[in-house]
């Protein structure tokens, strides 16, 4: 399993949500994460993977960090299974290293930051999602090692447990 690039560069983070997908991007040195907008999801439509690929290309990302929404015990949720499939597809389509990182509490940290700045969440859900992606990416940038998905590894589902693997 390859690891995220040891040399620094722009990384893109993806905070996968039901209605919106928050994005963040690091600076060229791979040191500081900043919000990079949101991608809207439409109910009943396929996941907007092509749009994420376009964003990664236009932002000149060298790797992608995707949040993995685990439950309180660290187990997969139905959305985590979806995220594993999307991450494998992003790796296949972009040929970039894609890493999954536990995203528990990133939204809470983003909402706390907005509240501490005197802001309100009302009408700012997209800001919260992009800021949650920023929290996720900043966490990833501090890590010494981050395993990435093999671009050619298909996403599979364990028939017994229902868990997706890449």
Domain ranges of the chain: 11-147
- Of 3.30.420.140, 3.10.440.10, 3.30.300.30, 3.40.50.150, the CATH number of 11-147 is 3.30.420.140
Structure tokens at 127: 């800001």
Residue 34 has pLDDT above 90, yes or no: yes
* pLDDT tens column, 125-143: 557 788 889 989 988 888 8
Element (DSSP H or E) covering residue 82: helix 78-94
Phi-psi domain of 24 (left: phi exceeds 0; alpha: psi -120 through 50; beta: other): beta
Structure tokens at 115: 């509240």
Supply the pTM of this predicted model. Answer: 0.78
Q: Would you state the pLDDT for residue 153?
A: 62
Count of positions (residues) in the chain: 166
């Amino acid at each position: 399993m390859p690891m995220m690039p040891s040399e620094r560069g722009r990384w893109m983070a993806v905070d996968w949500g039901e209605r919106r997908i928050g994005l963040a991007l690091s600076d060229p040195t791979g040191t500081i994460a900043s919000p990079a907008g949101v991608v809207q999801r439409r109910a009943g439509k396929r996941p907007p993977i092509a749009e994420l690929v376009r964003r990664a290309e236009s932002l000149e990302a060298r790797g992608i960090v995707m949040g993995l929404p685990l439950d309180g015990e660290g187990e997969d949720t139905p959305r985590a299974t979806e995220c594993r499939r999307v991450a494998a597809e992003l790796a296949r389509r972009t040929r970039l290293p894609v890493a999954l990182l536990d995203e528990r509490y990133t939204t809470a940290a983003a909402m706390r930051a907005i509240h501490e700045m005197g802001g309100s969440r009302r009408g700012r859900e997209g800001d919260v999602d992009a800021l949650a992606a920023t929290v996720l990416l900043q966490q990833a940038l501090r890590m010494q090692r981050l395993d990435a998905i093999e671009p050619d590894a298909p996403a599979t589902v364990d028939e017994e447990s229902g868990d997706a693997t890449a």
